[in-house]
Structure 1
Amino acid sequence: MSTQDITEPAHTWANFKRGVAVQRRVLVALMIRQLMTKYGRSNIGFLWLVLEPMILCCGVLVVRSLISDSEENGVPLISLLITGYLPLTLWRHLSSAGTFLLRRNGPMLYHRDITLLDCAFALFMLELGGCTIAFTVVYWSLYTLGLVGPIYDLGLMASGWLLMALLAFSLMMVFGVLTEFYEAAERFIQPFQYLFLPICGFFYMVNWLPDYAQELSWYVPTVHCYEMVRGGLFGPIVETHYTPWYPVLWSIAMLAWALPMVDKARDKIHFG
């Protein structure tokens, strides 16, 4: 065996570690850039990443608590709202960020180590981190006040949350590609978000629906995520219906279409 054969694995491992270090620095730098661009350097700055979804969620909780009963179909209203509104916030923040995502990050391609996917993943990590912290703070505040119960299955709840993030990231990439090829697509994103709201799973649980509506709801991938989040919080006191692989298949299908199109969309980006 030659000396080159013996040392090759070491060089390969060293290159891998060096690549991981570079990738980590790139993602951290891009996340800081996103924070500075969106929230600026003054006042509380990046804390708005967490405070914004918290304030909106608390506003919804207060208004609904004043106009509705304390329970809905036997489920505590506050618990139902936080497991509905905060996943919805994650979905909308991430998916809507896809509008002209590639164009907005085009100038970063002048840096050799940065790709469009790096920019997209940095935004994904930022929004996921902010919404997750907001969810945690809101839940523990309400739990401390005795307004919500303990989490029954944290693993199931976290799985539903992460699947919602994966779906939203996949749709973000689809929107990013579509808005580069068809500028008019931007006009349809907000209407789509609003039209999708009644069926996404935010307002209901599958078990509340008539049999024919249950069959239809299972075709909506976000419904499975909501059911998992609520099943993880409530446990056996509610009946949930979900199939984890279904939103995964939707995500794979969207990414399988969007990712190969990123390079083609890149050619349409014009630098000013």
Structure 2
Amino acid sequence: MKVASLPKYRSGRIMIALMLREMSTTYGRSPGGYLWAIMDPVAAVVLLSFAFSLLLRAPSLGTSFLLFYAAGYLPFNLYNMVANTTSRALRFSRELLAYPDVTFVDALFARFILNTLTQLIVFIVVISGILAVIDTTAILDYPQILHALFLASILGLGLGTLNAFLFEWFPAWMQVWSILTRPLFLASGIFYIFEDLPRVAQDLLWYNPLFHVTGLMRAGFYPSYRAAYASTLFVMAIALIALVLGLLLLRKHYRNLGEL
């Protein structure tokens, strides 16, 4: 009975092995290891807060620049890390994918799970630190915050999975995607809220799903902010369409990608 039940857990064991491999290669070889995963967003939030505090008297919401920019930057960073690592999962595990027991699904979801958990830890550490050292009088809506984090991670998984195929099938797409998405840092509501923008900009940026994510996240930190424009359905539709399309394309073609 035990022997017969082992295949059910084979995929889970493979994903755990892939996650441990990435932990050792990505974080284990650099001085500081996981510390850099935390210090990078901390430095980004601090620099943003310092720079904009010199230009503005107060952020668009609340009184703390640190909390305002952290609430925008951290979900963006979660999406960005998940999307980037997932999109390169086939290249990262190319040698292991030659084994019949290791599938592209294992490679994709191992990177998705590991990087999502890493960024969730980063989120908890950074936000806890801000709330501990600054009197923000924030009232946190935890279900709303978790909701925004889930949308950021599933959007990263969906677009990352589709790009995992496209990066291999059309190598030039990697450079094109990098150019196309470079403005996202400025166009995803990290520095401002949707309501601060003129109507023309609102009509255009509404189609950026990350703007919905940052709006929903800030609604979790500021009870008076509703983010009425934000649509969970819109974000989920983009994420799931990209995920399903990416998985279907990989299922059909992944053995021919990169001579796998």
Aligned length: 257
**1:122 pairs with 2:115:** no
Please say if residues 61 and 68 of structure 2, whose CA atoms lie closer than 8 Å, have aligned partners that are also in contact. no
Quote the residue 1:71 is aligned against: 58
Q: Between Structure 1 and Structure 2, whose CA radius of gyration is higher?
A: 1
CA distance in structure 2 between the partners assigned to 1:70 and 1:113 by the alignment = 58
CA distance in structure 1 between the partners assigned to 2:57 and 2:129 by the alignment = 18
The structure 2 residue matched to 1:134, chosen from 114, 118, 122, is 122
- State the SS of the aligned residue for 2:191: coil
CA distance in structure 2 between the partners assigned to 1:227 and 1:19 by the alignment = 43
**1:88 pairs with 2:70:** no
CA distance in structure 2 between the partners assigned to 1:206 and 1:198 by the alignment = 12
CA distance in structure 1 between the partners assigned to 2:19 and 2:47 by the alignment = 28
Instruction: State the Cα distance separating 1:71 from its structure 2 match.
Output: 1.4
Equivalence map 1:26-65=2 (5 Å) = 26-41=14-29, 43-65=31-53
Post-superposition Cα deviations, 1:57-116, rounded to whole Å, max 9, x if no partner, equal 334334444x23351235332222001111121122222224543233121124443211
Quote the residue 1:248 is aligned against: 236
Post-superposition Cα deviations, 1:136-155, rounded to whole Å, max 9, x if no partner, equal 11111111112433343110
Could you tell which deviates more after superposition, 140-149 or 156-165? 140-149
CA distance in structure 2 between the partners assigned to 1:208 and 1:160 by the alignment = 21
Post-superposition Cα deviations, 1:119-168, rounded to whole Å, max 9, x if no partner, equal 11111111111111111111111111124333431101110111011111
**1:174 pairs with 2:162:** yes
**1:270 pairs with 2:259:** yes
CA distance in structure 1 between the partners assigned to 2:139 and 2:118 by the alignment = 20
Could you tell which deviates more after superposition, 92-101 or 81-90? 92-101
Letter in 2 for 1:123: R
Quote the residue 2:141 is aligned against: 153
Where do 5+ consecutive residues of structure 1 fail to align? 1-10
Report the TM-score, using the length of structure 2 for normalisation.
0.87
Cα distance 1:256–1:138, how it changes in 2: closer, same or farther (>3 A)? Answer: same
CA distance in structure 2 between the partners assigned to 1:87 and 1:140 by the alignment = 15
Equivalence map 1:193-272=2 (5 Å) = 193-236=181-224, 238-241=225-228, 242-263=230-251, 264-270=253-259
Report the TM-score, using the length of structure 1 for normalisation.
0.83
Equivalence map 1:177-188=2 (5 Å) = 177-188=165-176
CA distance in structure 1 between the partners assigned to 2:11 and 2:135 by the alignment = 42
Post-superposition Cα deviations, 1:20-53, rounded to whole Å, max 9, x if no partner, equal 5333322221111111121234643344333433
CA distance in structure 2 between the partners assigned to 1:268 and 1:200 by the alignment = 33
Instruction: State the Cα distance separating 1:193 from its structure 2 match.
Output: 2.4
CA distance in structure 2 between the partners assigned to 1:225 and 1:42 by the alignment = 31
Cα distance 1:205–1:114, how it changes in 2: closer, same or farther (>3 A)? Answer: same
**1:109 pairs with 2:97:** yes
Identity in percent: 23
